[in-house]
Structure formats: C-alpha cells, structure tokens
Structure 1
C-alpha cells in the first residue's frame, strides 16, 4: 500500500510539472502563433482591400535647451494603405548595393528606410525570401533611420524635413562610391549630406551646413531610429527585444516595447555611446561621435491603433556664422548581430561597449567566451554541432579534478550502502537515531553526502550559457548538424507519435496536448542517457524519492523537447561522457559498477507483500 501511495505521489508531482510547463510555455507559445497568423491575415486583407491608412503623428520631446527632436511622421497625404513595393515606388530613391545589403535611400526625407539582408533568409530554405530589416513610412511595418538638423523653438529657419526632396550626385551607394545629397533652402543655407558604407552593415554619415546668408544661425544635429507599430517578438524573458543603448555612465539600457509609456520618455545625457532598436538577430542603431555629449531618448506614442517607438539623440547647438560651414558626423549600424562584425566595429571605431548589442545575459563572462571557443572550433571542423560536442569534452576535462572528487565521494557512498541499510534496519522505529548513526558513519569514513551534487551544480551556469549561445547568436541560426537537424537553434522537428515522419500526421495540431506530442528523437536519446546516468548512482533510501528520481528523466525528456536541438544534443552527449567518466572513477575506487543490475531491477517484478 505504501509503495502504491508513493507511486501516486510521484506521478502526481510529475503531472503537476508537465501541466505547469504546458501552462506557462506550451499554451502561451500556441497563442502567440495564433496571434501572429491572425495579424498576418489582417495585414494581407488590408493590402488587398487598400484600406485607408492610419495617419502617423509626429513624436517630439525636448532635448538640449528645450529643442525638439523631429518625430516619426508618415506622409500625411497617403490616401490608402500601401504595400511595401508601392511605398518604395512612391518616392525617388538611390540604390544601396553591397555584397551583404540591398535596398535604397529615399531622396524624400533622405532616410535610410529600405534594407534587406542578402545573407539571411526567412527559413532554412535558401530560396526563401531574404530578411527585410528596414521599411519606409506608409508600408505595413515602417522601420527606418534618419539624420538631420533642428532649431530652437520659435526660430524661423527652413530646414530639410520628412517631405524635403534632396538632390543626389550618384545613382547608387556602394562600398567604393559614397553618396552625396544636397538641398538648398533658398534662404541662404546649403545642406550637404554624405553617406558611405562598408562591406558589412555600417553606414557613416556627415552632415554639413554652409551659411551663405547674412546672419548667424544655430542648429542642432540629431539622429533617430523609428519603428511604427508593435512588432512581433519572441516573448522570452531571457531575450531582450525593443529599445537598447549604452549611454555613458548610464550603462546598458534595455526597455521592452511593453514598458514604453507615452508620458514617460526615457531621457539620458551621455558622451558617446549608441542607441537604437533591436530584434533577436537584427538591429538598427545610431552612433554619435564618441567624443561628443548628446541628449538621448527612448520614446513612444500611440496614434489611433498604432504605437510608434523611437530612439534618438540630439547634439549640442552649432552656431554657423555667415560664410562659415558647420558639420556633424554619425554612424548607423543596420544589419545582423554577428559577433565578429559587432566586436570589430567596437574595436575599429572605439564604440563604447557595442558588443552588448548582442544579449549575452547575466552570465556574460561565461557565455561570450563559450561562444568564442565554439566558433573557433567551428571554423576548424565546419559544423557547429560537432563544435558543441568537442567543447563538451573540453569542459569535462577542465572540471575533471572536481568531478573526480565528487564521483569518488559518490563511489564511497555506494560502498557504504550495506552499512546504511543495516543502520536503517537497526533503528527502523527511531528515525532520529538512524540519522545520527548515518552521520557518524559519514564522518568516520570521511564521506560528504552532498558532494555528488557538485558536478550538476557546476553544469548549471554552463548549461544556461550554452542555452543563451544557441538562443541569441545569429551564427547558430539555421546551423545544421547531421541527419534531420537542419537548425541547431530550433527544436527537434521529429516526433515519436508519427513514427518520426513515417505517418503523414502532424501531432502539434492536436489542441492543448499538441505540445506534449512533439517528442523528437534527440530528446528521447537525451532522456535515455539521463536515465542510464542516474542508474550509476546509489538509489535514495526513501521510496518516494526513488520514484521521483525514476520519473525525472521522463519529465526532462518532455521539457527539453521544446528546447533548441543543439542544447538537447549537448545534454545527451554530456550525459554519455558523465557515464563513462563516472564508471572509470568508480573502478579506480574499487566500487563495483552495477549499472546493468540496477537497470534490470527496474523491470524486475517485485514479490507480493506478505500479509
């Protein structure tokens, strides 16, 4: 009866964990997918029906000396919603043509508002569409960068704005050919903007103003990144998506879309730094001259049913005397958050902590070095999955001395099992004395009963660091392993419930339980290796604990089925190495390895209890 009670308790705990996992992970993810599909359907209907566009209002807030930064304004005269292609065709443009980027700069407003990443696709299929990063105002998902000048309140100066049409000196911006835009306000000010671009994702911008008039003029340089509408996000706590920046002594600033408030913009004063808007793998950030103090801001406003987000900075005023010229310089990063590229920019341009554009998390001191080691090995072996396996072996080697002590303690514990059983039998009616006798035995034999937990505790930060590497680094995106694993950053796509694809049925379509039914081959391998590893260790004396430990591999198998395949492969490989390592240590300490006996005992029928 007691065994049955313990079994029901263990099953109940297991079901509670599984149901909790489904409630907090499975159902929210399914709901996000449903919302994304619904959102896409609405967008398509809007494009097909050419419905009335929602008017985008300006978003302004005071900067230095009360000067307002121009906001994100869409064309006020657009009579209907435009597709991306229609919005691009509505304004004159100069092409952006580099080995890694394709897009255009709008001559109306001088904005960088059209950018696609040639090296990245929406799916693992190389024929799928390229990732679109930036899009113009008037399109379904506007996202763009803008540089310019503004003036103090009440000063009547004709400045180039969102509706200004610039004159271009070239038909394309390439790494070998800069683009110069000019605009004469007809009132004595000649504006000149020079764009250059490198082979990756960095734009450099130089804004100049020549005063041909008879009076001095004071202007303030600014730059902004603006996004209209709430973008679709991953929705994970460990990943930041939204407004981001490193702003001098303020340090790293991360504000999610959900935490942006109309009335409470986030204001900062900083020298140098950078700020912008980031997605999981892509970002657009503006970077001021690192020696110049700026007023920086994260802001948001809602117009109609659309919420707009903006990250901008405002520089100090420049007084331009008659016959003189003033200049302002800045940079725009718009592209994929590749570690080598981002680190290279930080070093080349001395951009303050630009590497934090990649969300390395709290374990930065472990996560980034771990990635760098994996990446170096990948460049040798040509496969990130193999690199992860090799790194696991290296980690096992590094932690071997500590693991040796831990496993040696566990081996001694196993050797003491007969004496511990005898103590429990001797004091079966007095648990306090049984505990005291057990502790005296540990002290006499110099055994630490919790030493066996150390290898697991050590693995926890490494596990989370590897999880972070697989989850946030773009290098892992669409990185194949072998066989059916075409993306190490995505869950194993197979499932035992359709015989790994032999039956033409999608278990994930089952309401509520669909998440449980996606149980792939690698999670099963991981669960088996975890179970085998646990069978090497002494069984807990308490029957309930034994039952729980027996069910733990099953619970973890279902839980990790939703994790990145690379992480599951790492865990399975780590379990296998742990079994081998522990077996060697147990042999050295003269402890008999009873792995197969322990496994057989699980399936062996117990004799009926005597009445």
Structure 2
C-alpha cells in the first residue's frame, strides 16, 4: 500500500473510532443507564423477597450494630473509628482526609462497618486448632485504658478456661497501617497445635465504578505475582488459593484498600473465597500461617500488618520500602501500559509539588510533552503546510488523470519527492499522542491524588466531567437541567456539554482545517467534518483534567501550524476569520 493510501486509511480509522464513541454516548450510554435501573429494581425486588423468606439475612442500622460490642476508640491523624472487644476485630473505620463528595459538609469516607449492618466490612484475626480459640463472639478484655492512637497501642486479653491464654496487641501509625500481634501461652499439661490466621471480609455487593478500566475486587501479590480478580469473576469462580512466602492480599475499591501483609519470611496459605450466606454474597481474602506446636509452658506468636485506607501512591510506596511488602503500590491499577502511566503520574505529582494545583500541573505537563515533541511536530507541520500549498497542483493532477488512478498516484508521489514531502509525517504527532492520551486518562481515573482535585472556577474535581452545560448557559440560568420532567435525563446525559469540551471542539476544528485534506471520498470527507462534534460529545463525559490537557495540546498544535503556514505563505482559517470579522473582507490565499 502506498503512502497516501496509508494516510487515508489512518484518517479513516480515526473517523470510525469517533463514530464508535458517538454510538457509545448517544445509544449505548442511555441503554446502559436503563439496564442499570432495571437491575437495581430487580435487586430491590429480590432483596424484599429474600427478607420475607426464612433464613434470609436481616440487618440493623450501623449505630445499633456498634452498640452490640464494647469498644476501644481509634483516633489518628488519618483515621477515626473503634475496635470491637467482641471478636477483637477492626470493624469501624472512617478516613478523616477524604469526603464522599466535594462538599465541605459531606461525611468522611467509610471503610469498615460492623457485622450485622448492611454491607459489613471488617478485618478479623485469630488461631485455628483442635481446642477452643477466640472467635467472633469472644469477649476480649482491654488491659489498661485509653484509645488506640500512634504511639499508644492497646492490649487485649482472653483466657479460654482450658489452659490457653491469648493476648492481642494492636498498634497503628499516623497513616493507614495497623500491626496486630497475637500471642498464645499454653498453661495446660499437654502440647497444643495452633495456626494463626487473618482475614478481610466484605458482605454484600459493593457499589462499583461505572467503567471497566478500573480493577475492583480481590488483589494481592502472592508467590511473586500480582493477583487480580474482579468481583464478578470472584463470585463466579468461588475459592482460589495460593501458596506463598510473605506477600500481601486484600480487597480493593477504586480508591480504597483493605489488605493483609504477613511476615515476609513466613510461608502462608492465601485464599480468596466467595460464598453466599443467607442470600448475601460474602467475599473474603484470608491467609493462614504454618502450624505451631506449643509445649506445656511455651508461647507462640504471629504478627500481621493490616492496611486500611486510601490508595495514595506515595503512602503505598513508603510501606513497600519500609516493610518490604512486594509491589504494594500496584494496588493502584496502573493498567497494561504501566510503563506510560507511571511516568506520567510521577511527572504530574512532581510538578504538583511545586505549583500546588493539579490543573496547572496538567498544563505544565502539556508544555513539557509538547516541548519534547516540538522537533517532530515541526517536521510534521512543515510537511502539512507544504502539502496544503501544493493542493491546487495535486487537484490539477487528479483532473488531468481522472481516468487513470495509477498515473495520478505516480505523478503525485513524484511531486512529493520533488518538494521533499513525506505525506505520513502529518500523522506522527497524533500517533505519538495516542499512548499519552490513554495513559493520562488512566491516571486521572484511577489515582486518588486526582480525586476531588480542583482547577480554577467551576472545575472542582479534575477526575470528573466538566460540570457546566450549555443547556443552562453554563450556570447563568438558575435551573438544573436534570430536574426537567421527561427530558432531564437526556439534557444531563448526552446533551451535557461543558465549556472545556466546547473549547476542545473549536481547537480541533481549527487544527483540522489547517491541515491538508488528504481524503477525496465524499463519505470520508463527511466523517472528517463531523469529527470535532463527535469528539466534543465524547469529551463531555470524560474527566475534565483530560480535556484541559487536550485543549492545551490543541492550542500548541494550532500555534505551530499557524507559524509554519505563515513561514511557507499558506492561507489558513485563522487569517480567514480575522479578515472576515476583523478586517471587513474575505481572506485571500497568499501566492508566491
């Protein structure tokens, strides 16, 4: 295939990609919302039927569940909650630094919830063996008094009445890591065999992100490999076990993680389990240590670290380094193209350390990336400007050889060679930016650092779409489009178009019209003309940080194209607009 056909094919494929996006926004999006609504209605009906059936799960409210056990308060700079003395488990936890919405009055994010309440979520620990060991109903006693806080651990004790004395010491740092040290002393006359265990359990279906680019479910690094199982696959396949020395495992949401990290030199049996109990799906990530034999008068111990908090990259990396937990920052879903995603995140976070605003960091990232691509882009826009200047000659060749396509192609390529033009150079900046686009999209979507990160003005969350919409004149008219009967969902869905997506559409149109029109097929030309509109709708539903990047990138593109077209004295749409609306006349192509 010759070079011009390759270019045409590339442009056509991009146009088809735009059509697929439009199909997703206008057809599949509303259809998916309708499907979700039907699923929620069906789930409510199933739950009501289950509650009416014998043996079905029944729930109490969270506060009532908390009152079911004496408690020891947890108070750290990052966490608040309590330890349940019944069971000696971590089952009540909120993240102080993160709120459920961008509102300052929004409640903090809840991570753990006590058993008995709906969507219970907790970490549990203990021993397994042929004798009575502490369980979920065991009443532990606090030795001493005071809350659990950094530098102030708590000690819990329990005697099984048959010669075994258990002690549990729980400590916590100033971030999200608990350390649970269990010890058992054998005061009986016979040896006892016990094995330590730890588990993270989640009861019920969590609310999942509405995209497939995020991993949520079971996660861990076991036997030297990163293990990831989505909730859907987890429920389907049931139990999955791994033998490992050290490592870690847990349950992850988009931004939050509960994970167990045993001693990194101890062999364990790790398991991801999924069961249905009284109509409720129960997900567990647990690990069991080696069997220990306690002679009369002997003691045995086991220590496990419990991470319960926000997946902040620097925090995870810090624990990975300090505690030797392998691949712990891979709890953030970097994706298959991590070799792009990680450097882009690192660069964004480094810039943010100086400027303090992720929106400004994105603009500076754009400047750095476009600066790195400047020589390549200059060559590309030089080639495109020359091609646009030669457009009349190419058109004359086509007319002269209208019935001889092969001769048209031959003479066109001879013209390109004579003028030292490479037609494929025009596609290179787009090709180079494709991995950057997807990597930045991933970074904005998965990293906690971008959650609720403001820019300027109305952009208060760079990880969310532009909240403004032309329907109410970008907030100038005092009404919410979503509240309009019958059509509110459509106005706040497919027709929700913000300021930055519109700026993207304008800059894309300018860049497109400053490029030579390589396609001749009428259908392809029509697709190319509609591309700015298609992408405008697409970017209206993507994180606003991504649109900020792409608008800034387009501005650089247009500026470089404008410079090159002036250098080679080629007419362009900017001069045309200036002439029409500023100079009072119509622009005329510059001739040499």
User: Please, what TM-score do these two structures have when normalized by structure 1?
Assistant: 0.86
Over 3 Å counting, the alpha-carbon distance change for 1:571 and 1:382 in structure 2 is same
**What pairs up with 1:83-94 in 2 under 5 angstroms?**
83-94=61-72
Q: Is the 8 A contact 1:386 1:481 kept in 2?
A: yes
**What pairs up with 1:204-603 in 2 under 5 angstroms?**
204-249=179-224, 251-261=225-235, 264-508=238-482, 510=487, 513-514=490-491, 515-542=493-520, 543-588=522-567, 590-596=568-574
**What pairs up with 1:170-185 in 2 under 5 angstroms?**
170-185=145-160
- What's the CA shift for 1:454? 0.8
Aligned to 1:394, what secondary structure does the other structure show?
A: helix
| Distance in 1 separating the partners of 2:330 and 2:357 | 26
| Distance in 1 separating the partners of 2:160 and 2:17 | 73
Q: Is the 8 A contact 2:239 2:273 kept in 1?
A: yes
Q: Is the 8 A contact 1:371 1:469 kept in 2?
A: yes
Q: Does 1:133 align with 2:108?
A: no
Q: RMSD between aligned alpha carbons?
A: 2.8
The match for 1:3 is: none
Deviations 1:195-246 (A, max 9, x none): 1100000001111111111111111111111000011101311100111111
- What's the CA shift for 1:602? 12
- What's the CA shift for 1:434? 1.3
Aligned to 1:148, what secondary structure does the other structure show?
A: strand
Deviations 1:371-413 (A, max 9, x none): 1221122222121101100110000111112222222222232
Q: Does 1:202 align with 2:177?
A: yes
Over 3 Å counting, the alpha-carbon distance change for 1:294 and 1:593 in structure 2 is farther
| Distance in 2 separating the partners of 1:33 and 1:458 | 40
Aligned to 2:297, what secondary structure does the other structure show?
A: coil
- What's the CA shift for 1:587? 4.2
The match for 2:3 is: none
Q: Is the 8 A contact 1:409 1:452 kept in 2?
A: yes
| Distance in 1 separating the partners of 2:159 and 2:374 | 71
**What pairs up with 1:50-89 in 2 under 5 angstroms?**
81-89=59-67
- What's the CA shift for 1:363? 1.8
Pairs aligned (count) = 563
**Structure 2: gaps spanning 5 or more residues:** 1-13, 587-592
- What's the CA shift for 1:42? 10
**Structure 1: gaps spanning 5 or more residues:** 1-9, 57-79, 606-611
Deviates more, 1:134-143 or 1:428-437: 428-437
Deviations 1:438-469 (A, max 9, x none): 22333343322121111011111111111111
| Distance in 2 separating the partners of 1:527 and 1:475 | 28
Deviations 1:241-287 (A, max 9, x none): 111111123x1111111112466411111111111000111110011
Q: Is the 8 A contact 2:245 2:267 kept in 1?
A: yes
| Distance in 1 separating the partners of 2:237 and 2:443 | 36
Q: Is the 8 A contact 1:535 1:599 kept in 2?
A: no
The match for 2:163 is: 188
Deviates more, 1:521-530 or 1:535-544: 535-544
Q: Is the 8 A contact 1:51 1:81 kept in 2?
A: no
User: Please, what TM-score do these two structures have when normalized by structure 2?
Assistant: 0.89
Q: Is the 8 A contact 2:217 2:234 kept in 1?
A: no
Over 3 Å counting, the alpha-carbon distance change for 1:425 and 1:541 in structure 2 is farther
Aligned to 1:147, what secondary structure does the other structure show?
A: strand
